[in-house]
Amino acid sequence: VEETRKSPFPAEVVRGGPEAGDQAAPLARQERHAIGVDLGGTQLRVALVDSGGRVLALERVRSDQLQSRDELIQRMRTLVEQVRSPQTEAIGVGIPGSINRHQGLVLGIPAFPGWSGVPLAGLLQDSAHLPVYLENDANVAALGEWWAGAGMGSANVAYVTISTGIGAGIICDGRLMRGFGGLAGEIGHTRITDNSPVCSCGQIGCFEAVASGRALERKVAEAVAQYPGSILATVATGDAPGPEHLTEAVRRGDSRAKDILEEEAVLLGIGFTNLQHSFSPERIVVGGGVSALLPLMRQTIEHAMKIRLLAGFSPAQLRVAELGDAAGVIGAAQLALEEVSEAGSSD
């Protein structure tokens, strides 16, 4: 194991060659393993992943039902041991908040109290005796989709996750863009309108305030209250309205549902235009619950982009994320493999 850890890691393997994601390739060809940890607002996922981006073992628990920070850390340690293989080289952890990567510190997690200044990398390293690397959750999901999903094969990929909020991870010129303090990619809080409810950040007009899954839910709820006899009201009864209700209502010809979807598509087109003017991605990979609506919105999004993009730009290819919930653990594991290789080669 020590020898493998020291060997330089060929970049084309990390970046996902033609074999990456090919389920038929024999496992023996991907002998390097790492563990990816994805701490989400509702689920904690821990997976053993090989250098081809394949998930070999996966454990998950509800993170929102664990009582305390220490309980969450203890559960991470237990799950790491459960999925671990003899050739595991390192652990990567995706954190839904701010971190100091170099010190392995969690600076804060909006969804969980008590995480300010927690030396998580050191705590996991002490029990697992493996190098541990922290990264922002949107960044690890972007890395996952780039290495083994819808971003494979391009050196310029913007991954945008649209669920409760809107986050992004940017791959620019074949590298993850981190920016000063690791804070790059907060596209959800770029301003795209003067007219919106107050955003989760306290400001007005953010991309997230008008185009996130939560914003969609609010619009559906308002339409249902206003038109209780509509098809939309009929399909969106019961639990919280989701993309599937909107899809069903559009399919059955509900005009309010079509308007909501049309408005969402235009807003996404404006947000994506800002992304393209800033980073010029070749591909925009859309993840999160709202990505299920992408096929219905694609034409309008592309049109909204075309009429706004400067001369010389053409709309980036829009792709639905392919790895689903596994993007974070795969990206975190691949990040860990790359970091441990770089550390080994600089010895």
**Count of residues binding Zn ion (CB under 5 A)?**
5
CB of 198 to Zn ion, least distance (A): 9
CB of 167 to Zn ion, least distance (A): 11
Stretch that binds Zn ion, among 30-38, 92-100, 181-189, 277-285 (CB under 5 A): 181-189
CB of 26 to Zn ion, least distance (A): 47
Stretch that binds Zn ion, among 78-86, 148-156, 202-210, 299-307 (CB under 5 A): 202-210
- Applying CB under 5 A, among 49, 143, 199, 220 the residue interacting with Zn ion is 199
Q: Going edge to edge, which strands form the sheet with 88-95?
A: 55-62, 43-50, 33-39, 88-95, 132-136
The reply on whether position 215 binds Zn ion by CB under 5 A is no
- Applying CB under 5 A, among 32, 189, 245, 256 the residue interacting with Zn ion is 189
Most distant pair of Cα atoms in the chain: their distance: 69
Q: In the complex with Zn ion, which residue's Cβ is closer, 193 or 280?
A: 193
φ, ψ of residue 93 in degrees (nearest 5): -130, 125
* β-bridge partners, 133: 92
Q: In the complex with Zn ion, which residue's Cβ is closer, 199 or 340?
A: 199
Q: What share of the chain is helix, strand, coil (3-state, %, to 5)?
A: 45, 20, 35
The reply on whether position 206 binds Zn ion by CB under 5 A is yes
Sites for Zn ion among residues 13-32 (CB under 5 A): none
- Rounded Cα–Cα distance for residues 168 and 40 (Å): 15
The reply on whether position 211 binds Zn ion by CB under 5 A is no
The reply on whether position 265 binds Zn ion by CB under 5 A is no
φ, ψ of residue 101 in degrees (nearest 5): -60, -45
**180: region left, alpha or beta (phi > 0 left; psi from -120 to 50 alpha):** beta
Nearest to 285 by CA among 118, 152, 100: 152
The reply on whether position 214 binds Zn ion by CB under 5 A is no
Interface residues with Zn ion (CB under 5 A) are: 189, 199, 201, 203, 206
